[in-house]
Structure 1
Amino acid sequence: MPPTENRATPPRYLLPSLFLSYVAVYFCRSDLTVISPILDMSPAALGTLISVGTAVYGIGKILSGATAIRRPWLRVHVCMVLAGLFTISFASSSEYILQVLFWSCNRFAQSLIWTTLILLIHLHYGRSEVGGAVAILSQSFLVGDAVAKITLSSMVDSLGWRGVCYFASSVVIFTAAATRIVVNCQGADAPLVSAAVSPTSSMAFSPLKDRLRQLLQIPEFYYAALANGGLNLVREVFRDWIPLLLVQACAVPTTEASMFSVVFPIFGAIFTMMAGWASDKRNGRRGGVILTCMAVAGVSLLLLMLALTSGTPNGLLVLVLIAGSAALLGPYSLLSALSIDVCGVEGRQDLLPLFQGLQDGVGYFFASISGALVGNVVEAGGWAVGVGVLLGFHIFACVFTGLYAKGEGKVSTKSARRASEFELVISDDVDEAFTIESDDEEDNALV
């Protein structure tokens, strides 16, 4: 079969549609952060709401990979609409138990989207393009979070917390409808063939038991999942705790500390784009790029820990070291590209959603314990000890990324023989199967 690198050029609408879809999802995710100060909830009640939502999100990540994805775009759009509807239900509820229920349902709907977006990247991009595509898509985390918070914060006084939720839901539902129209006009949402229709299809989904058994025999899965866990824990801590660190350890005023906290995501975005570009330049060999970024982040964490042991460190120095620590976001984003590398070989392609979903599930398990762990450690031993714990988890992640990099040559050799033949079935009352072969068909495009 022809190599994946000979695939047809991805359609121009694809990456912008994926990007905007996930940016819109963040309106129904970041709205709680914006409205939390004016919610009629105690800190304990709000904490329970957030914890339950995060736990459900992690479960959804696992289930998103366990289920066969027949029509990727349809799943994305349905989940976006459901997230909007559950946000409306959350805002319309006055009982706390219902608010917990609807917020958790909202988070569950969101959890099914990312794995599907990665599958769409896999279907359209070759190995030497995946890193850049995933890096660009990963910016939707930062852009979506920032745009949502800035936009919704400006509406709190005039709309109240319920109005903010209604507006957030309208954004995600409108975006789902708009991208649905674009996809339908391109005829790009034909369902993937099931194993029952074509057991030999490269994207036929085998029974879950068979896929799980095959996945658990792949060492790279364990490396990626455990690396995801360590990196996600450190990422979540930096995302939530930077303002408090600057206030308590560096005596930075509260307002300035909140403003300076954007240093981590901004530099994280830069490192993410650089890592994606560099890995594509190396023809998809990502191990060296990942280890380089991990080394930069590790040295920055070590220096930050040492700086925090010397009384009250200079705030600017701490910010510089935090910026260096953001290098870990490059490897974190490339873990999605690794799932494509490992599962992009012939005979493994139906494992991709399961690989990505379970990998993310492990990551969010680690993330769910990050707050309590770091909070207790900092309270008992101070911020230097807290950063030391983060350094320990970072080294933990480095071990498993190193193991992946060591065996990457074998994965790359297999990926060079990746199948580029995909059997699709046209919906809308047409049951005719056809095969898309890159560079063998005149139009070279998904119909």
Structure 2
Amino acid sequence: MPLQRWQLRTAAGLFVGYSAYYLCRSNLAVAAPLLIREFGSRGLDKEVMGEIASLGVLCYAAGKVVNGALGDLIGGKRIFLLGMVGAVVATVVFELGQGVAVFFGAWAVNRLMQAMGWAGLVNITANWFSYRSYGKIMGLLSLSYLVGDIVAKLALGQLLTLGVGWRGLFGAAAGTLALVALATWLTLAPTPASVGLPDPPTNPDSLFKDETKAQQTTVLLGTYFRSPAFLLMLGLSFGLTALKEALSFWIPTYLVEAAHLSESAASQYSALYAVFGIASTLGAGYLSDAWLRGQRGPLLLLASLGLVPALWLMAQPATGLLLPLVLTSLAGLLLLGPYSFLAGAMSLDLGGRQGAATAAGLIDAVGYAGSTGALWLTGRLAERQGWGAAFLALAGLAAATAVAALVFYYTQERRPRQAAAREALAAVPAVNL
């Protein structure tokens, strides 16, 4: 059928496009040990590197707020492409930089532009796919950032093995993303109507059943901030995104300093975090749709609780390579699948076709605001007190997030379903014997 062929084409285009974004995002984590070595005499240590990453995430969070609403108002394809072009330009500026000030500015602009990517993806997905497949399609598309992270770290790590410096890494990343942007512009359709096809059904339980009202930004924001479920999702996003960003950024440097790997080996081994995240994302999407009947809370709770002992073990002194790699893999397995629910299936569940990109943008914005502090604090603690203190702080954050996950599950999933079951039972006519 034409619709199914276009859905497959759209999903593939979004997957490749968003994966390519990560070439211009993971490159800083890969290059961090090299930058610290080259510019350490000018004050670029782990604490300052954490500040650069934190400023970037703060700009990313701000961009999420604006670009989520923008995606719903002007269309996903436009901001998806604009984000790619902006990231390419900022990456080239960083590559040409000669000091810390340029690095701060270029990375901030890069992350601000990259905030357009996910908002565009969510908007296009909400237009092309039925609400009945949101968990599956967003689980699949959420793999794009994991695949992008894996490919970036393996490829850029291989370039380091070949003797290419950090500037070469940035140039290769920018050039590849520019080519993907061109291909996306030529092949991606924003909506079924743009190619003469009917729209798929949207979720009847979304917050936006009135399509005309949903086009007003004030209505979108007001509706969300009156929703207890949405407010709890913001708290979950704060914790899980902070953990995800801190681990993703600092694992390569951690493996260099704690496990005594070379920069190229650390880059490639750090991809295990995302490799196991792929299994997590596929498994979490299937379990929530097929076994848990759309409930996401149990998996969010399991992830948060499981991360506490894993991060505590990472805080202990490493005596070899095996344990750091096992724990890095376990962190990806526990965290990345449940994390993907928040700005993915849960945003689509809540916002439907009219407000999903806004929901995803707001949820991600709060999450990346949390990441700003986590990235800075992890770098500061690692620089001043060692990696043990840094990972203990992250374990505390995981414990706090588990509390929020428990509240979300009980108040938004378990209790409403119990109430619905009691009402259904009460509606059954009594049988006189």
Calculate the TM-score normalised by the size of structure 1. 0.73
* 1:69 is aligned to 2:78: no
Q: Report if the CA contact (8 A) 2:159-2:169 is conserved.
A: yes
- Describe the shift of the 1:184–1:408 C-alpha distance in structure 2 as closer, same or farther (beyond 3 A): same
Give the equivalent residue in structure 1 for 2:408. Answer: 404
Are positions 1:81 and 2:85 aligned together? yes
Determine the structure 2 residue equivalent to 1:174. 179
CA–CA separation in structure 1 for the residues paired with 2:96 and 2:385:
43
Runs of 5+ unmatched residues, structure 2: 197-207, 419-433
CA contact (8 A) 1:31 1:164 kept: yes
Q: How does 1:84-103 map to 2 (within 5 A)?
A: 84-92=88-96, 97-98=101-102, 100-103=104-107
Q: State the Cα distance separating 1:276 from its structure 2 match.
A: 0.8
**Matching residue of 2:242:** 233
Distance of aligned partners of 1:149 and 1:381 in 2 relative to their CA distance in 1, 3 Å threshold: closer
Equivalent residue in structure 1 for 2:371, among 344, 367, 372: 367
Partner of 1:342: 350
How far is 1:382 from its partner? 6.6
- 1:118, 1:142 → 2: CA distance? 16
Change (3 A) 1:408 1:115: farther
Shift of 1:216: 0.7
Per-residue displacement from partner, 1:30-83 (whole Å, max 9, x unpaired)?
333445526964415655543332221121112112334322112211221222
Partner residue in 1 for 2:331: 325
Structure 1 residue 52 and structure 2 residue 55: aligned? yes
Q: What is the CA distance between 1:230 and its match in structure 2?
A: 0.9
Shift of 1:205: 4.2
CA contact (8 A) 1:304 1:318 kept: no
Residues 112-161 of structure 1: CA distance to partner in whole angstroms, max 9, x if unpaired?
A: 11122122222223344222222221222222123223334444667655
Q: 2: distance between equivalents of 1:148 and 1:58?
A: 22
Identical pairs, percent:
27
Q: For 1:285, what is the secondary structure of its paired residue?
A: coil
Does the CA-based 8 Å contact 1:57-1:107 persist in structure 2? yes
What count of residue pairs does the alignment treat as equivalent? Answer: 390
| Alignment CA distance shift 1:223-1:69 (3 Å) | same
> 1:3-14 counterparts in 2 under 5 A?
9=4, 11-14=7-10
- Unaligned runs of 5+ residues in structure 1 are 1-7, 192-198, 414-447
| Separation in 2, partners of 1:160, 1:242 | 20
Change (3 A) 1:252 1:155: closer
Maintained 8 Å contact 2:91/2:171: yes
Worse-superposed segment, 182-191 or 148-157: 182-191
CA–CA distance in structure 1, aligned partners of residues 105 and 381 of structure 2: 31
8 Å CA contact 2:15, 2:144 repeated in 1: yes
Secondary structure of the 1:12 match is helix
Question: Does 2:39 correspond to 1:31?
Answer: no
- Counterpart of 1:214 in structure 2 is 223
CA distance in 2 between counterparts of 1:205 and 1:388 reads 43
CA distance in 1, matches of 2:310, 2:103: 43
Q: CA 1:410–1:171 in 2, change beyond 3 Å: closer, same or farther?
A: farther
Corresponding residue for 2:299? 290
Q: For residues 25 and 322 of structure 1, do their structure 2 counterparts lie closer, same or farther at Cα, with a shift above 3 Å needed? A: closer
> When you count helix as a share of all residues, which structure comes out higher?
2
Tell me: CA distance 1:353–1:280, structure 2 relative to 1, closer, same or farther (3 Å).
same
Q: Does the residue aligned with 2:73 lie in a helix, a strand or coil?
A: coil
Question: Which shows bigger deviation, 8-17 or 39-48?
Answer: 39-48
Deviation at 1:233, TM superposition (A): 2.0
**Residue 356 of structure 1 aligns with which residue?**
360
Q: How high is the TM-score relative to the length of structure 2?
A: 0.76
Residue among 166, 170, 176 paired with 1:165: 170
Question: Residues 289 and 372 (structure 1 numbering): CA distance in 2 closer, same or farther, change over 3 Å?
Answer: same
In structure 2, C-alpha distance between the alignment counterparts of 1:103 and 1:141, rounded to whole Å: 19
Q: CA deviation at 1:261?
A: 3.6
Q: CA deviation at 1:411?
A: 8.6
- Give the 3 Å change call, closer, same or farther, for CA 379–120 of structure 1 in structure 2: same
Within 5 Å, give how 1:262-273 maps onto structure 2. Answer: 262-273=271-282
C-alpha contact 2:297 2:408 (8 A) present in aligned 1: no
Deviations 1:321-355 (CA, angstroms, capped at 9, x unpaired): 443333121110111211111122xxxx5332222
- Residue identity in the other structure for 1:15: A
What is the distance in 2 between the residues matched to 1:377 and 1:48? 12
Q: CA deviation at 1:366?
A: 1.2
Query: Does residue 129 of structure 2 align to residue 125 of structure 1?
Result: yes
Closer/same/farther in 2, CA of residues 200 and 337 from structure 1, 3 Å limit:
closer
Q: AA paired with 2:53?
A: I
Quick one: distance in 2 between partners of 1:341 and 1:110?
24
> Per-residue displacement from partner, 1:379-409 (whole Å, max 9, x unpaired)?
7877666544333322322233333333237
Contact 2:311 2:395 in 1 (8 A): no
Structure 2 residue aligned with 1:280: 289
The partner residue of 2:145 within 141, 144, 147 is 141
